Amino acid sequence: MDKFLTEKGIDFSQNSQTKVNQVFVFLEVFEREGGIQSHVKDIFRAYLALDEPFYAEVFLLRDSHNCSNPFESERLKFHYFKSQSPHLGRVRMTLALLSHLLRQRPAHVFCGHVNLAPLVSILCQPLGIPYTVMTHGKEVWQALPTLTKSSLQKAAHIWTVSRYTRQVACAVNNLDPNKVKLLPCAVNGNNFTPGTKSTALLERYGLVGAKVLMTVARLWSGDIYKGVDVTIQALPQIAEVFPEVKYLVIGRGDDQPRLAKLAQDLGVSDAEAATFGDAHSGSRAKRDRVIFAGFVPTEELVEHYRLADAYVMPSAEGFGIVYLEAMACGVPVVSGDADGSAEPLQDGKLGWRVPHRDPNAVAQACIEILKGDDQRCDGVWLREQAIALFGIETFQQRLKEQLLSGVKTS
């Protein structure tokens, strides 16, 4: 590849001062938290750490100038287009992006979401500027609108986070598998580390002496696939073997009342313990198997992961960064068995994969973990594997390869 780049006039040797201009276009990164946003921030972090002279302008449709952005630098310049009128914001970004493409003719454009792919395609194609579309999971697991599908088919590359998403997206949208490159999610092993259980948190949530199952997920009615309800249904069976088991649910959303009612109906929660945080919630938690912790800031998550004896999310994920975070903290994991979690769990080598709507399978997996006889329960080994395969250094190398591939396409 280096020979090819040199022949094209692009020299990445130590003495080269060649500047490669690129463009990133995203829906939102800083004003909402989630797996996609976390993945994008890892891309920015790795981008700035690369030795190659890549420089990029970043266009953000739904973020504002007031957002907290630690990545603004000489190599990453950000443009914000959030508006009270979503239509106006999109028009403003379209005009600014077109102006930039006409003036700067960047080497490559990276489109951060499939919903932006038609716009990027329409702007880049007439100018002969190659583009890559980033995909993440469910948004490409079904047949896409004709214009969106066409924009993916015309892309120089498509990035995705897992083999499963590549397989499904190509099948349902008639995409060339050779165009689809893997850029799995990453975990920062310096931020997520093993440690002793916090006495203060154990007391806060009524978990002293408990075997703790944990999930970190949005509790939205549109995200039932996360499997929190299935794990609640598995609790009575788990409690027959481990009477001290409790389930800590971290997250918030409009589905919480339904989940709390389910726990009550199954006899694993008091009627009043639907939320956490009032003056009496600590005493209630001591009587409950299901504890709804509510929202926990990212910087406090590591201490919460350390509370867990098992991380349980029998979901349908595009990848599942939370599995990596748990494993980096030395916590065994349970995932669904028909989704992108095959990537972080390495097809079951690093964790338990179960049918995601099967409470009996979830119960059996949790019982096996709590017994602790399997190598996948070895926290030290589990962390080593997760960091080696998905640590920041590995991610940085993968990103470098993908970016150089983009330059080659140019």
Residue 239 located in a structural domain: yes
Residue 7 located in a structural domain: yes
Angle at 276 between CA 360 and CA 356, to 5 degrees: 20
Residues 220, 134, single domain; the answer is no
The pLDDT, as a whole number, for residue 319 is: 96
The phi, psi pair for 133, rounded to 5°, reads -110, 130
Please give the Cα distance from 287 to 234 (Å, whole number): 18
99: buried, middle or exposed (CB in 10 Å: 19+, 13-18, 0-12)? exposed
Please give the Cα distance from 317 to 331 (Å, whole number): 19
The candidate with the shortest Cα–Cα distance to 250, out of 186, 312, 336, 324, is 312
Residue 193 located in a structural domain: no
Residues 328, 302, single domain; the answer is yes
The pLDDT, as a whole number, for residue 406 is: 63
Residues 178, 216, single domain; the answer is no
The pLDDT, as a whole number, for residue 275 is: 52
DSSP characters for 55-123?
EEEEEESS--TTS--TT-SSSEEEEE---SSHHHHHHHHHHHHHHHHHHH--SEEEE-SGGGHHHHHHH
Residues 96, 26, single domain; the answer is yes
Residue 191 located in a structural domain: no
Please give the Cα distance from 371 to 211 (Å, whole number): 10
Please give the Cα distance from 246 to 34 (Å, whole number): 25
CATH number for 121: 3.40.50.2000
The pLDDT, as a whole number, for residue 335 is: 98
DSSP characters for 300-319?
GHHHHHTT-SEEEE----SS
3-class secondary structure, 133 = strand
The phi, psi pair for 64, rounded to 5°, reads -115, 170
Residue 373 located in a structural domain: yes
Residue 313 located in a structural domain: yes
3-class secondary structure, 213 = strand
The candidate with the shortest Cα–Cα distance to 80, out of 98, 59, 99, is 59
Residues 180, 288, single domain; the answer is no
pLDDT tens-digit profile of 226-281?
999 999 999 999 999 999 999 999 999 999 999 999 999 999 986 444 455 443 34
- Amino acid identity at 93: M
The pLDDT, as a whole number, for residue 15 is: 42
Residue 176 located in a structural domain: yes
pTM: predicted TM-score of the whole model, two decimal places: 0.88
The candidate with the shortest Cα–Cα distance to 121, out of 85, 99, 89, 149, is 149
Residues 222, 325, single domain; the answer is yes
Residue 108 located in a structural domain: yes
DSSP characters for 167-212?
HHHHHHHT--GGGEEE----B-TTTS---PPPHHHHHHHT-TT-EE
Residues 87, 106, single domain; the answer is yes
Q: Which residues of the chain have pLDDT under 50?
A: 1-16, 271-274, 277-286
Residues 206, 57, single domain; the answer is no
Contact 302, 319 (CB under 8 A): no
In DSSP terms, which residues pair with 391 in a beta bridge?
187
The phi, psi pair for 254, rounded to 5°, reads -75, -5
Domain that holds residue 24: 2-186+392-409
Number of domains in the chain: 2
Residues 6, 152, single domain; the answer is yes
Residues 43, 142, single domain; the answer is yes
Report the b/e string of 327-340 with b at 16+ CB within 10 A: bbbbbbbbbbbebb
Residues 165, 288, single domain; the answer is no
Which token pair is 159? 């990035």
Which token pair is 337? 């068995």
Residues 296, 164, single domain; the answer is no
